[in-house]
Amino acid sequence: MLAAIFLLLACQLIGEALHRITGLALPGSVIGMVLLLGWLALVRRERPTLSAVSGWLTAHLSIMFVPAAVGLMQEGSALSRYGLGLALATGVSTVLTIVVTALVFRWALRRFTPDEVGKRPVQPAERGA
Amino acid sequence: MSALTDLLATPLLWLAVTLGVFEIFERRSHRSGRHPLCHPVLWTTPVLITLLWATGTPYADYKADTFLLSFLLGPAVVGLAVPIWAQRERIKRLAVPIVLSLAAGAVSSVVSAIGILSLFGAPAEILASIAPRATTTPVAMAIAEQLGGVPALAACIVLFAGIAGAMTATPLLNAMKFDDYRPRGFALGVSAHGFGAARAFQVSETAGAFASLGMALNAVMTAALLSLLAALL
């Protein structure tokens, strides 16, 4: 358990250090994620505890960003001024991104990996699916 | 009485209140079958803002008291490497469609969000807050801060994007006649992060796995893309 927590903190620490030393604009935690990926590829073994710890963190992500979201109380003027633009830009961008990603995926699947097209895991039409 | 005042100077009160309020809405969200509009953060945030306002507590004090919660975001982001690693076989087999659609999705998300918002004359710090809108919240907050944006605003934009994506994806993709759950799930994860993944898992196991993959990969892709842009501009 402690070893898994250490691994996560060590990757983040090195990530934050690299972020500061190199001036790389990637956030330290994202660099840490890439470092951990490298470590998992380098030292191959079953890691049930690491899966459990990272799974626990992911399962409780929502409450971790409550303190930041509450910070909106200081952003009242930005919200009242750009609220409409923010809502519109976010909504349109979200829908557009879904459409573009799905279309490119389908096109590339047929164009570059024809073997995989047949493996399509078709499932019975589910209600609301 | 001063004994109690001392107690108020510790993080205990606001940590406990945050967990308690969150748990109430978490249960309601669970009862609703995880409906996007019942997301606990959507309801916990206004309640806490009201409580802070009613008690005259400055946000800086609240932020300091709940630092323990925010701190965990960092290790949580690092831990996203674990599900990506677990799906390496799938990534290898479908590398080309995954990489191309991820790049297309990340670029269209950033360009359309910034493009539309700049029509409203928003200043740079607001644009920087919307740029990472497709990534999972902790990554979006880190990127926004990095670009000179407002992490709190980024968190709320991401929340709204998740709700919008989770509610529109199914009718949208059905209308476009997508019957393959791989592009369906992947697109949902790339555009609507954890909300998209949660919605995709309700539809199919395959869609859910691809959505988690899309979410994790887009966190890295958007971070890299925006870092590059920031370095060039």
- Shared domain for B128 and B206, answered yes or no, is yes
Give per-residue pLDDT as tens, B92-136: 899 999 999 999 999 999 999 999 999 999 999 999 999 999 998
**Domain range for residue A112?**
2-57+90-117
Six token digits for residue B51: 């409580």
- Clarify whether residues B228 and B157 are in a common domain: yes
**What is the rounded distance in angstroms from the CA atom of residue B132 to the CA atom of residue A2?**
32
The reply to whether A85 falls in a domain is no
Claim to verify: residue B63 and residue B109 sit in the same structural domain: no
Nearest CA distance, B137 vs chain A (angstrom): 7
Neighbours of B207 (CB within 10 A): 31
Residue B49 or residue A113, greater confidence: B49
Q: Name the domain boundary from B52, B71, B90.
A: B71
pLDDT value for A27: 83
Q: Cβ contact (<8 Å) for B203 and A62?
A: no
Going by C-alpha positions, the residue among B82, B200, B67, B221 that lies closest to residue B139 is B221
Q: Do A66 and B82 touch (CB under 8 A)?
A: no
The model carries a pTM of 0.83
Is residue A30, in this structure, part of any structural domain at all?
yes
Does residue B132 share a domain with residue B46? no
Question: Do the domain assignments include residue A78?
Answer: no
Domain total of chain B? 2
Handedness of CA B152, B72, B41, A26 (dihedral sign): positive
A22 pLDDT higher than 90:
no
ipTM: 0.86
Rounded alpha-carbon distances, angstroms, from residue B97 to A89, B85, B204: 27, 18, 20
Among B87, B149, B139, B73, which residue's Cα sits nearest to residue B114? B149
Identify the pLDDT of residue A128. 41
CA angle B152-B155-B159, nearest 5°?
Answer: 145
Could you give the number of structural domains in chain A?
1
Cα Rg, chain B, nearest whole Å: 19
pLDDT digits (tens, 9 = 90+) for B197-225: 888 878 887 888 899 889 989 999 999 99
CA distance B187 to B196: 9
Residues B112 and B220 in one domain: yes
Neighbours of A52 (CB within 10 A): 13
Residue B1 — very low, low, confident or very high, per pLDDT cuts 50/70/90? low
Q: Are residues B151 and B204 in the same domain?
A: yes
**Mean local confidence (pLDDT), B159-184:** 91
* Domain end residue (candidates: B45, B71, B97): B71
State the Cα angle at B93 between B91 and B95, rounded to 5°.
55
Domain for residue A126, yes or no? no
- DSSP states along A93-124: HHHHHHHHHHHHHHHHHHHH-HHHHTT----P
The whole-angstrom distance between residue B10's C-alpha and the CA centroid of its chain comes to: 29
State the Cα angle at B37 between B74 and B223, rounded to 5°.
Answer: 30
User: Would A125 be classed as within a structural domain?
Assistant: no
Residues B14 and B38 in one domain: yes
Of chain B, the percentage scoring pLDDT greater than 90 comes to 62
Same structural domain, B134 and B225 = yes
Residue range of the domain that includes B175: 79-232
Asked if B117 and B170 sit in the same domain, the reply is yes
For chain B, positions 16-55, list CB contacts with chain A under 8 A: 18-19, 22, 26, 39-41, 44-45, 48-49, 52-53
